[in-house]
């Protein structure tokens, strides 16, 4: 044996053999199964698209209703002026007396702001807004009184607001106190009921998604029964055999959630112009509130979670029935 050959074998023996770690092997297997699962879905585009579309519509319904509630709550947040008191003063009061009363009320701890609208200002505004300017010019005197718009402080409770209203109504200079907060409270109560209904409906629709994905995975398992038997025959564990079906459920949930977000966003795009026209008729502006990044992440997480749960239950249930003969 030559010295060169001995040196060569010695060098080969000294060179360490690099092997992949458990984490790299686990990651590589999941990447391979993820790619294989999406490839199988792509080979059946019509069937896969129908399932994804059903999941998307099922997810889009509660997501769209939740977005409607979010926009309604956003609009109602601009209705703080509905909590204001309109204090109509006696017509015999002068402007200076009305200003003095406004300063007196403004000093109260339970009052945030007081605005004086004089009779002349109210008449001019009424002429501009009502379209009866020519008719109002025929009047001999201004029929409108001075008005104080009183905004309660943010620390007020429902009882303190009622007390404030009674005290303002009992002032000798006050003719009438007009306030309408009950409809705002009823609106928020309705929103709370709708939120609960959407939550219950979302849970039921989520259960439907689990059933849909579970049934799809069950059919896929039956179609690949012989492949599963051979895989188990060579010693594969249930977890290994279950892995591609879990990835299938993952892709169904992810694609369905993405399509659901797209459907709702497209619906908002179609509604932007009509809402803007409607707001313009009332001489105001309205901006449609879209999904936040957190809400998009939540929808994606729910879709993926439901896909994994449905596929796992179906695979765990039917995998035990398939054993090599």
Tens digits of per-residue pLDDT, 65-86? 988 888 777 765 555 555 778 8
Domains along the chain with CATH numbers: 32-77+185-319 (no CATH), 85-178 (3.30.70.3040)
Q: Calculate the alpha carbon distances from 42 to 36, 47, 245, 251 in Å.
A: 10, 10, 15, 11
Phi-psi map region of 235: left, alpha, beta (phi>0 left; psi -120 to 50 alpha): left
Q: What are phi and psi of 125, to 5 degrees?
A: -65, -40
- Taking the model in full, what pTM does it have? 0.65
Residue 279 has pLDDT above 70, yes or no: no
What is the spatial distance between Cα 38 and Cα 27, in angstroms, rounded to a whole number? 17
> Can you give the pLDDT at residue 207?
93
In this prediction, residue 200 carries a pLDDT of: 93
Beta-strand (E) ranges in 45-179? Answer: 85-89, 111-117, 147-152, 174-178
Summarize pLDDT for 23-34 with one digit per residue, the tens: 776 677 778 777
Please check the confidence at residue 137 and state whether its pLDDT lies above 80: no
pLDDT at position 55 is 94
What are the tens digits of pLDDT across the range 195-222? Answer: 899 999 999 999 999 999 989 888 888 8
In this predicted structure, the answer to whether residue 269 has a pLDDT above a threshold of 60 is yes
């Amino acid at each position: 044996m030559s010295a060169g050959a001995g040196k060569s074998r010695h060098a080969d023996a000294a060179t360490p053999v690099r092997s992949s770690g458990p984490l790299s092997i686990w990651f590589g297997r999941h990447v391979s199964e993820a790619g294989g699962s999406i490839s199988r879905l792509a080979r059946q585009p019509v069937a896969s698209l129908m399932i994804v579309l059903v999941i998307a519509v099922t997810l889009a319904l509660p997501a769209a209703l939740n977005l409607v509630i979010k926009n309604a709550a956003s609009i109602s947040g601009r209705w703080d002026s509905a909590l204001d008191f309109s204090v109509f003063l006696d017509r015999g009061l002068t402007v200076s007396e009305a200003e003095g009363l406004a300063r007196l009320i403004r000093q109260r701890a339970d009052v945030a702001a007081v605005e004086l609208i004089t009779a002349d200002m109210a008449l001019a505004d009424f002429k501009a807004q009502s379209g009866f300017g020519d008719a109002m010019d025929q009047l001999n005197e201004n029929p409108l009184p001075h008005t104080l718009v009183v905004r309660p402080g943010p620390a007020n409770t429902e009882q303190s607001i009622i007390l404030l209203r009674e005290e303002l109504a009992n002032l000798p200079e006050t003719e009438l106190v007009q306030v309408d907060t009950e409809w705002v409270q009823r609106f928020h109560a309705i929103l709370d009921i709708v939120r609960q209904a959407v939550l219950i409906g979302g849970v039921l629709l989520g259960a439907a998604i689990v059933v849909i994905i579970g049934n799809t995975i069950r059919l896929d398992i039956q179609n690949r029964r012989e492949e599963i038997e051979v895989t188990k025959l060579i010693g594969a564990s249930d977890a290994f055999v279950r892995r591609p079906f879990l990835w299938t459920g993952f892709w169904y949930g992810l694609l369905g959630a993405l399509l659901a977000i797209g459907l709702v966003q497209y619906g908002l795009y179609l509604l932007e112009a009509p809402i803007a026209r409607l707001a313009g008729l009332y001489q105001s502006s309205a901006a449609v509130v879209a999904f936040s990044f957190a809400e998009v992440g939540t929808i994606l997480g729910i879709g993926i979670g439901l896909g994994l749960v449905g596929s796992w239950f179906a695979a765990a249930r039917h995998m035990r029935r398939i054993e090599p003969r």
